[in-house]
């Protein structure tokens, strides 16, 4: 989720882990060095999100520091479970659905020896997080938000060969360009839209995805129908939730709401206004807030769809409130 609002709230209300990228030391043979990798990547327009670390296998010498820089609109965290469980991103409770503080907030210190978890907290585009590796070993890490997004830091003794920034940059560029060319482009080109169901005039794919490659678009983006026609959106991704939201002149709702606690930092609740369906989709007159709610199947559940019948001529913009720039237009004419 490119939830700028959430992280903005986090920066105001919480100490979300933000560290300035350390200065890269001159590459003297035995001096500890700082190397930088990407957490997340994206197409130039940002509509294709690559939910992966680039590169995701890094070899360091003991004492070296690795910096992860957020290079995507989608937010991520970096978490070293150190043999323990990976925390869930969201936690449903009796009073709402909350972002897990173990994901949202930094965990551990600046040095890491693999004996306890370490985590960055939520990072937004341009932010970075660094960890200095003080012991040899193989240390797996992951993003708690995106299933399958992970990597390994391999820490070797000072006398063994380790990565250089030049080698990392070459691997990063090759990885990102390969993903965009061989996965994202075919996904986009092959998605010509969805067949409408019976009684429906147009079908629209709400996002398409192949593993780490997440295309955050509606296909087709612009659809023309007649008054009284219905349009169905079909959730086409593998795990990314989307919404179909007509704002009806209102500002886009915040994705996460800080809920003050009697002690400690506020809890971040997912806004019920975006989680739940709202408005009369079976006969929408083109005004007022109309929302699908989260389009994302329960495990093993059916593919979600959302159908709106349009009763009033007009040109209606809609968006996914979770993904910046994911927009579409429905033109309704007599
Ligand atoms: Cu979306």
Give 259 Cα–ligand 1 centroid separation in angstroms. Answer: 24
User: Residue 278 gets which letter from DSSP?
Assistant: B
DSSP-assigned states of every residue in 226-265: ETT-EEEEEE-SSS--B--EE-TTSPPPPSEEEE--SSSS
Residue extents of the structural domains in the chain: 4-179, 191-333
Q: What spacing in Å lies between the alpha carbon of 320 and ligand 1's midpoint?
A: 5
Per-residue pLDDT tens digits for 260-293: 888 877 888 999 889 999 999 999 999 899 999 9
Residue 4 has pLDDT above 70, yes or no: no
Radius of gyration of the chain (CA): 22
What confidence score (pLDDT) does residue 30 get? 61
SS3 64: coil
**Ligand 1 geometric centre to CA of 51 (Å):** 14
Distance 48 CA to ligand 1 centre (A): 11
pLDDT digits (tens, 9 = 90+) for 151-197: 999 999 999 999 999 999 999 999 999 999 999 999 999 887 788 77
Which residues in 112-143 are b (16+ Cβ under 10 Å) and which e?
bbbeebbbbbbbbbebbbbbbbeebeebebbb
Give the architecture-level CATH label for domain 191-333: Sandwich (2.60)
Distance 28 CA to ligand 1 centre (A): 46
Q: If you measure from the C-alpha of residue 243 to the centroid of ligand 1, how many angstroms do you get, rounded to a whole number?
A: 6
Name which residue leads in pLDDT, 169 or 21.
Answer: 169
Q: How many Å lie between the centroid of ligand 1 and the Cα of residue 323?
A: 4
Which residues are close to ligand 1, an ion, with C-beta < 5 A?
242, 320, 322-323, 326
Where does 65-184 show beta strands of DSSP type E?
A: 65-70, 79-80, 90-93, 96-99, 111-112, 118-119, 128-133, 137-142, 150-156
pLDDT the model gives residue 16:
32
Q: Distance between the two ends of the chain, CA-based, in angstroms?
A: 37
Per-residue pLDDT, 142: 98
| pLDDT reading at 5 higher than 70 | no
Distance CA 262, CA 126 (A): 33
Chain centroid to CA 37? 18
User: Residue 33: what pLDDT?
Assistant: 96
For residue 98, the CA-to-ligand 1 centroid distance in Å is 19
Peptide bond into 122 cis (omega under 30): no
**Cα 216 to ligand 1 centre (Å):** 6
Same fold, 4-179 and 191-333: yes
Q: How far is the CA of 289 from the centre of ligand 1 (A)?
A: 17
Hey, CA dihedral for 96, 99, 102, 105, is it positive or negative?
negative
State the distance from the centre of ligand 1 to the C-alpha of 141, rounded, in angstroms. 26
| CATH fold for the domain made of 4-179 | Immunoglobulin-like (2.60.40)
Among residues of the chain, what percentage have pLDDT more than 70?
A: 91
Q: How many A from CA of 103 to the centre of ligand 1?
A: 21
Q: How confident is the prediction for the chain on average, in pLDDT?
A: 89
How far does the centroid of ligand 1 lie from the alpha carbon of residue 235, in Å?
A: 10
Q: Rounded CA gap, 43 and 45, in Å?
A: 5
Confidence of residue 302 (pLDDT cuts 50, 70, 90): confident
Inform me whether the pLDDT recorded for 68 exceeds 60. Answer: yes
CB 108 within 8 A of CB 116: yes
Q: Which of 251, 246, 324 is nearest to 289 (CA)?
A: 246
β 96-99/111-112 pair status: unpaired
Q: How far is the CA of 6 from the centre of ligand 1 (A)?
A: 15
Q: Which residues contact 253 (CB under 8 A, 6 or more apart)?
A: 271, 273, 274, 321
């Amino acid at each position: 989720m490119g939830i700028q609002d959430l992280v903005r709230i986090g920066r105001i209300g919480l100490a979300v882990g933000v560290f300035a990228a350390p200065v890269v030391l001159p590459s003297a043979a035995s001096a500890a060095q700082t190397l930088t990798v990407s957490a997340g990547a994206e197409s130039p327009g940002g509509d294709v999100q690559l939910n992966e670390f680039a590169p995701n296998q890094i070899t360091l010498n003991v004492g070296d520091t690795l910096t992860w820089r957020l290079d995507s609109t989608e937010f991520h965290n970096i978490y070293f479970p150190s043999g323990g469980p990976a925390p869930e991103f969201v936690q449903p409770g009796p009073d709402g659905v909350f972002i897990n503080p173990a994901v949202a907030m930094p965990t551990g210190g600046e040095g890491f020896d693999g004996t306890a978890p370490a985590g960055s907290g939520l990072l937004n585009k341009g932010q970075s997080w660094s960890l200095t590796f003080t012991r040899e070993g193989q240390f797996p890490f992951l993003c708690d938000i995106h299933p399958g997004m992970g990597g390994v830091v391999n820490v070797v003794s000072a006398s063994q060969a380790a990565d250089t920034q030049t080698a990392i940059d070459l691997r990063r560029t090759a990885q990102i360009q390969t993903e965009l060319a061989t996965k994202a482009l075919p996904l986009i080109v092959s998605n010509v839209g969805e067949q409408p169901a019976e009684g429906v005039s147009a079908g629209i794919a709400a996002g398409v995805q192949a593993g780490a490659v997440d295309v955050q678009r509606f296909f087709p983006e612009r659809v023309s129908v007649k008054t009284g026609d219905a349009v169905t959106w079909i959730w086409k991704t593998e795990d990314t939730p989307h919404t179909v939201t007509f704002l009806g002149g209102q500002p886009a709702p915040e994705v996460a709401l800080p809920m003050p606690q009697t002690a400690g930092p506020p809890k971040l609740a997912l806004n019920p206004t975006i989680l739940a369906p709202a408005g009369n989709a079976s006969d929408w007159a083109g005004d007022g807030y109309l929302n699908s709610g989260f389009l994302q199947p329960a495990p093993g559940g059916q593919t979600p769809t959302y159908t709106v019948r349009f009763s009033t001529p007009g040109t209606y913009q809609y968006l996914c409130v979770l993904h910046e720039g994911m927009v579409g237009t429905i033109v309704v004419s007599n």
